[in-house]
Structure 1
């Protein structure tokens, strides 16, 4: 149960990072995660496959959310701003334009 709690907390943390809402309780993703966690919180081991399947799915969503956040951070830092001018491109590769003094 301890690993499930850590997994739920990490999912909620990633949703909080990516969400613009102030109230996490009103977020539909949080409601769904909590609903699924409560539905699969049985103590008997009769539904072992479903529990492992839910844990795998939660790990997949957690990986997706953290990767999406990292991608957005990298894209904002290194992403292009559009087309470069001829001078900027020449300076980038180390060439000089014909009208530049040598």
Structure 2
């Protein structure tokens, strides 16, 4: 199974439960729910900057280089870290 597919499945499962619990205590509009990808992209952009500050980008380990490359490609493509199925979160 592809890494991104597994990540999407885990994120959707987690968020389904998280949103259900959140809605038991607070409210969330449909518009706010659909804003989540924007915040996920913001998270990636901030993480990219932090990693460039914290890591020696001229001497990255293989894992660091792969992670940073994947992160940069996602940012450039405008793709959030996970693709969520928001319609399932809106169902009672």
The structure whose Rg is larger is 1
Q: Which has the higher contact order (CA 8 A, sep 6+)?
A: 2
* TM-score bucket (shorter structure): 0.3 to 0.5
Q: TM-score, normalised by structure 1?
A: 0.30
Q: TM-score, normalised by structure 2?
A: 0.33
